[in-house]
Chains A and B, each alone.
Chain A
């Protein structure tokens, strides 16, 4: 006879399987450079979250929480439809293939615009680029409407706290694989860089204010993904190098988050904890270093504003990483041998190696920095590692976590106030925009009252207009 306690998880696993298949397929499709497949990928991800959200007892809350995932999918579908519909900028000639093939002919988006004359479809090409950017930024949590998602847990009972962390990963994949669509458009790179910088700053502030390490890790994945996407937006390193750097930093955090949910296996034992601390620091430093070199010291000139805007969050993130990865207390007298520890050690080693290896590839592909820029670019991460506050022996919780947020003007209090001020301003802005849209749409709702006589009057009015309109040439 099967125990009821065991059948329920098994039943839940079976019920979660369609969502799992959709999510894995979505991830696989996002890795392809084709826009319609990327749109399908995000749609499948949204489907997976919807399927999972329906299963739990808190389904009402979860369904409302993850409904926004259809927005990035719609943005990508719009971009894909525009890519199929718009002719190449160079030649606005009739389609080469007849029939349906003409309707589905994909234009060459890399073709240069015509030298003479204005491209009447240029605004739509920009819209296409903005739609892709919107999708990527929203999945990254870099837009006001989706900003709070790393604060909440996902739909499944066991994997719930981990699931939201895959969304920034998907956002980065969208921005990386579809970079050929959105980066050539005018001003889009600049918009992306600004949005990503703000997202990185807010993410690290929120990670700093959260007491739970799992929640902080989710925010740090957003931070790392924003930095990696910035590498692409500003064309600092080739996309595949940015991907490797992202794997080293955000990939490590994703592994750490999964391990946290499985008994904090990254923090079991002093040796393993040290390995993970070193690996996380190396990953974060490897990601931030080329960005600081490429942005703050580009063309041999020092840009202090850009340097400090990037260095401050990098310093805080590095400090946070080292401060929070502390050895978990072992409750057993004799620790049991655990295969998860071996996997965790392997993950730490991979994370440790991947960052420097990516930097080596970057150097190989032509990435160079000026002196002393290369050293100054390493400074925020180095300071974050060096200026670690000393903990009292035996104190399991770092000092920052022992200070209550409500206690007074602490650094955490300040960070929380900044985060809340910015996000509440964003929310108000979005709400105002929504109210304006609703106000504009209200006449459409009130257009017909259902009275047949009014229909007739309306039609006669339009008839009179049809008589008068041509005369107003």
Chain B
């Protein structure tokens, strides 16, 4: 079983390094403020490391903490806008899901989900009641994993939030969403009509997330937003895995306890790719001189590109194993339509990230590199994320 704690710790360490790039104030007070804001990320890292312990309440607290962290700096308008958008969307999503949970408890006569399925299987309640309730209970999870058409918040957070904050906020909320869905559907095999309904709903959601994500990725220009959309495709992977067998844990073919493995990969890949995105040019032609990072520190750039490619599931990266694991699961359960959508999304993701990497390396320029240096903590964060990914891949390979 993959232990995500070391990998979440690495992501947290990378966040600290990135936090050091933007010190708040000089002196001891500044150090304390930096440390405090970084320590506030620890509960989010815990959500990534321990998805098994996620409950709707903990997910809601995690979402509230993420919004609070985004809203804390009143001078930062972009982060404030992200916080506002997240508040609107997540509050409504949790409210609708909470309504669904209540309705389902009413129909089944019990609150724990594992006890609800046998009770609902007796078919004592009207179809309209339990089916609508069941669909609503999934809404918060689907919004949190960020599959299209709910992929807007991921791109917004990567675009608007600071580099040290965005990866862990996104990864923790996505992992919380996946865990909510997995826990909600645990044991649903005892209620075949419910399993059939959920399979249909999640298949539609997964197909929309994969195709919509691929279409969005192909039309985006800003590297930060592309990283956000790649994260949304990771959420689509969870939906696709659940659609093939709603009662089984996603990525079960990869390793037992595989949601933790997915979360660990997500946190590290988003850290590396999110940091790299800050140094990439927007819509520059491939014949232009390389970005500053790639001119002054090409190896750091290459290492960060590895995280970006892993997020897209490029061959030779741990991300590829996640995509292959879901593809194989869909093939074994004969979900040919969803597998086709997965293939399309993967090809688009791989093509776009490879093109992005090429553009970043640009063409050799005879002119001297610009004076502005890339801060060492940022480079160290990229190396940390890539090292974590290599370790993760090695661990999966050995397993």
Binding site for B on A (CB under 8 A): 15, 36, 39-40, 50, 54-55, 59-60, 63-64, 67, 70, 74, 77-78, 80-82, 84-87, 92, 94-95, 99-100, 102-105, 120-121, 123-124, 127, 440-441, 444-445, 447-448, 450, 452-453, 455-456, 458-460, 462-463, 466-471, 473
Q: Is the CB of B328 within 8 A of A455?
A: no
Q: Is the CB of A99 within 8 A of B132?
A: no
B20 in contact (CB, < 8 A):
no
Q: Is the CB of A467 within 8 A of B89?
A: no
B61 in contact (CB, < 8 A):
no
Within the complex, the shortest CB–CB distance from A117 to chain B, in Å, comes to: 11
B84 in contact (CB, < 8 A):
yes
Q: Hey, which chain B residues are within 8 Å of A36, CB to CB?
A: 315
Given contact pairs A55-B364, A100-B397, A470-B131, A456 touches B89 in the complex (Cβ within 8 A): yes
Q: Hey, which chain B residues are within 8 Å of A74, CB to CB?
A: 347, 350-351
Q: Hey, which chain B residues are within 8 Å of A444, CB to CB?
A: 148, 212, 215-216, 219
Q: Is the CB of A85 within 8 A of B324?
A: yes
B96 in contact (CB, < 8 A):
yes
Q: Is the CB of A120 within 8 A of B364?
A: no
Q: Is the CB of A87 within 8 A of B347?
A: no
Complex: A87 Cα to B397 Cα, angstroms: 21
B222 in contact (CB, < 8 A):
no
A-contacting residues, B306-349, CB 8 Å:
315, 321, 323-325, 327-328, 330-332, 334, 336, 339-340, 343, 346-347
Nearest first, the 6 closest Cβ-Cβ pairs linking A and B are: A470-B131, A444-B215, A85-B327, A60-B287, A448-B152, A120-B334
Complex: A104 Cα to B318 Cα, angstroms: 12
Q: A15-B364, A59-B363, A103-B321 are in contact. List 15 more A-B contacts (CB 8 A).
A: A70-B355, A85-B331, A100-B399, A120-B334, A120-B336, A121-B339, A123-B336, A123-B340, A444-B148, A444-B215, A445-B219, A455-B88, A456-B89, A466-B136, A470-B131
Q: Is the CB of A445 within 8 A of B351?
A: no
B187 in contact (CB, < 8 A):
no
Q: Hey, which chain A residues are within 8 Å of B254, CB to CB?
A: 99-100, 103
Complex: A205 Cα to B219 Cα, angstroms: 39
Given contact pairs A81-B327, A102-B253, A467 touches B136 in the complex (Cβ within 8 A): yes
Q: Hey, which chain B residues are within 8 Å of A15, CB to CB?
A: 364
Inter-chain contact count A-B, CB under 8 Å? 169
Interface of B, secondary structure class, is: helix
Given contact pairs A85-B328, A471-B131, A100 touches B396 in the complex (Cβ within 8 A): yes
Q: Is the CB of B339 within 8 A of A81?
A: no
Q: Is the CB of B152 within 8 A of A441?
A: no
Chain A residue nearest to B351 (CB atoms) is A74
Given contact pairs A54-B363, A86-B331, A470-B134, A447 touches B216 in the complex (Cβ within 8 A): yes
Q: Is the CB of A67 within 8 A of B340?
A: no
Given contact pairs A54-B364, A124-B340, A452 touches B81 in the complex (Cβ within 8 A): yes
Q: Is the CB of B139 within 8 A of A50?
A: no
Chain B residue nearest to A77 (CB atoms) is B315
A-contacting residues, B208-224, CB 8 Å:
212, 215-216, 218-219
Complex: A440 Cα to B344 Cα, angstroms: 15
Q: Hey, which chain B residues are within 8 Å of A64, CB to CB?
A: 286-287
B165 in contact (CB, < 8 A):
no
